[in-house]
Amino acid sequence: MPNRSHWYWLLLVPIVIPLSTPLFNSKTPELFGFPLFYWLQLAFVLLGVGCTAVVHLKTKREG
Amino acid sequence: MPNASDHVTELIVFTTLFAIVSGLGFVAARWRRAESLDHLDEWGLGGRNFGGWITWFLLGGDLYTAYTFVAVPALVFASGAIGFYAVPYTIIMYPIVFMVMTRLWSVSYRHGYVTPADFVRGRFGSPTLALLVAITGIVATMPYIALQLIGIEAVLKVMGVHGHLPIIIAFLILAVYTYNSGLRAPALIAFVKDTLIYLVIIVAVIVIPYKLGGWGFIFGSAEQALAQTNPKTGLPRGSILLNANNQLQYITLALGSALALFLYPHSLTSVLAAKNRDTIRKNMSALPAYTFLLGLIALLGYMALAAGIKPVTSGGKADTNTIVPQLFDQMFPNWFAGVAYAAIAIGALVPASIMSIAAANLFTRNIYKEYLRKDASARQEASVSKLTSLVVKIGAVAVILFLDPQFAIDLQLIGGVLILQTLPAVAIGVFTRWLHPWALSTGLVAGLAVGIGMLYQIPNPNNGKAHFGGSAYKLALAGFDSDKQIYVGFVALLVNLVVVVVLTAVLRSAGAPQGVDATAADDYEADRGTADATV
């Protein structure tokens, strides 16, 4: 367990990135007519899913 | 004002779906049947045995309420980018929950805790702190239930149904099947609710942009509409991007709301109903599907701007909560608009039911059993909770009937700030016992006072209110030379944390008595099926 617990730090990524407004407070580049502000934040959903899934798998108990 | 005779098809579809769901609510008592529902673990937590899928639907139905579905696009419609905070809010919530709630599930499973205040009672050995957490929970939850009624009312208004009778009937049915079936009712109904919501939104984001002329057009016209000057403030109505003054507000509002949402007692109710840790952990990767959906729902606000939708006005006041139902009315054939309305209304029933169960459990466990009847049996606990859930719902209807619905909205705004103040005791408490219970109680009260004080200072130029006009606090109000805004709950929580830490250090160095910790370190890792489980 202790040598796996460092994986939990990965959970900070989907907390810090979606709160960093300078990263996405822009209209361009657009995607399918969506300004950056909207499509990138929707894409952060995948970032959240990915990070929590990795942490779950890497810290799962055996047996 | 819309007229009911123009909406007959919609009303028929709406009423039929509503009736089916009500039937399900009663049948739910026999679903995954227990020996008896006369135990809080059964009535209030569905047997603590829900697997991954049920938990996904239940938590999704619980956290993303009808009010959210109606109010978030309304905010985007009225102000633009700031309303999109709902997306980061419901992304960052899950990694936080992953850490906190799995530990809270484990310790609650091992010790039979039903409410957050149960945990605080056991962890810190302080009935006073537990009582404060319980009262804060009940007070914060009550207006949230009332708001669900506003979600239903918005839909009914657009169909031309006025007056309060339909809402009273809807809530009466809700109250009776919740009394009868407990948490099994919203769990079963959540399947229908979420299927309908997903269906409606997927259709909406394909059909409406197609009819309007594409996403580029939608964002372009929304930008133009928001750039118009608001006569009441002399400033533009809003913007499709954040500006220099509301970025800090966006960040603190998203973070504060995420922390508040999982501290609400009804979130814990759904989490504790899960059968094991894995169910919760997996769901933290699966639940963001709802966030994606919520993001699309938020954009309905821009579609409404692009389509030139006007909110329904009643009594001279424009109700922006009606813009989504109005948009559906204009864009969809009648029968499908009826389905969409039913989705919103049923979406109100699921969280309202869970919230009333959570509030009832707090009363039963942390007030009735703690102070009024210490030797209450499991059967008595269950019957007190069932009755309290009825009282709670009648209270919510009374708020809407006898007070201005705006009052419920103000109360819920305050509620979010209040529930956030339980964070040190509940969420930090699952990691450390270092904080002193007296310091936690003082910090909680200080946070409540600061939060309510700040909300009181905030005016709303749009409706002319001098106080409780929103949760965005202009730093200028505190004497700073700045137009920047910040979320009140965040500031109140910071004050709370500073008080808790400083006072703990003082109390510890003075050797103040600590109270007994009923939990052990390995309780926080316990799981169903492992040898150490005792329940």
* A48-57 per-position pLDDT tens digit: 999 999 998 8
Min CA distance, A45 vs chain B (Å)? 6
Min CA distance, A47 vs chain B (Å)? 9
Q: What is the DSSP pairing of strand B317-319 with strand B312-314?
A: antiparallel
B460 bridge partner residues: B465
Q: In this structure, is the dihedral angle defined by the CA atoms of residues B391, B396, B400 and B404, taken in order, positive or negative?
A: positive
User: Is the bond leading into B116 cis (omega within 30 degrees of zero)?
Assistant: no
Contact assessment for residue B65 and residue B194, using Cβ atoms and an 8 Å cutoff:
no
pLDDT-derived band at B534, boundaries 50, 70, 90: very low
Q: Which residues of A touch B94 (CB under 8 A)?
A: 14, 48, 52
Are B242 and A14 inside 8 Å of each other by CB? no
Q: Which residues of B touch A44 (CB under 8 A)?
A: 87-88, 91
The torsion defined by the Cα of B477, B483, B489 and B492, in degrees rounded to 10, comes to -50
Are A12 and B92 inside 8 Å of each other by CB? no
Rounded-to-integer distance, Cα B177 and Cα B390, Å: 10
Min CA distance, A55 vs chain B (Å)? 9
Min CA distance, B220 vs chain A (Å)? 9
Rounded-to-integer distance, Cα B141 and Cα B137, Å: 6
Q: Which residues of A touch B216 (CB under 8 A)?
A: 30, 33
Rounded-to-integer distance, Cα B368 and Cα B20, Å: 36
Q: What is the ipTM of this complex?
A: 0.92
Q: Which residues of A touch B88 (CB under 8 A)?
A: 18-19, 41, 44
The model's pLDDT over B416-468, given as tens digits with 9 standing for 90+, comes to 899 999 999 999 999 999 999 999 999 999 999 999 999 888 888 777 778 88
Alpha helix segments (H runs only) across B375-517: 378-402, 405-420, 423, 437-457, 488-509
The model's pLDDT over B169-226, given as tens digits with 9 standing for 90+, comes to 888 888 888 988 888 888 888 888 889 988 999 999 899 999 998 999 999 999 999 8
Question: Which of B87, B95, B247 is the closest to A11 by Cβ?
Answer: B95
Task: Give yes or no for residue B97 having a pLDDT over 80.
Answer: yes
Lowest mean pLDDT among A17-31, B2-16, B206-220: B2-16
Q: Would you state the pLDDT for residue B535?
A: 42
Are B284 and A52 inside 8 Å of each other by CB? yes
Give mean pLDDT, residues B88-98.
92
Q: Would you state the pLDDT for residue B531?
A: 47
Min CA distance, B296 vs chain A (Å)? 9
Q: What is the pTM of this model?
A: 0.89
Residue B315 backbone zone (phi > 0: left; psi -120 to 50: alpha; other: beta): left
Which of A1, A12, A13, A19 best probes binding to B when mutated, by most B CB atoms within 10 angstroms?
A19
| B520 compared with B435, residue with greater pLDDT | B435
Share of chain A residues as helix, strand and coil, in percent rounded to the nearest 5: 70, 5, 25
Q: Which residues of B touch A49 (CB under 8 A)?
A: 285-286, 288
| B294 compared with B482, residue with greater pLDDT | B294
**Residue B134 corresponds to which tokens in the numbers above?**
């319980």
* Burial status of residue B452 (CB atoms within 10 A of its CB: 0-12, 13-18, 19 or more): middle
Rounded-to-integer distance, Cα B396 and Cα B164, Å: 13
Q: Is A44 on the interface with B (CB under 8 A)?
A: yes
> How many angstroms separate the first and last alpha carbons of chain B?
57
Min CA distance, B460 vs chain A (Å)? 25
Are B285 and A14 inside 8 Å of each other by CB? no
Which of B218, B242, B285, B524 best probes binding to A when mutated, by most A CB atoms within 10 angstroms?
B285
Q: Would you state the pLDDT for residue B430?
A: 93
Residue B142 phi/psi, 5-degree rounding, is -50, -55
Give mean pLDDT, residues A14-39.
91
Rounded-to-integer distance, Cα B238 and Cα B149, Å: 28
Are A11 and B295 inside 8 Å of each other by CB? no
pLDDT-derived band at B300, boundaries 50, 70, 90: very high
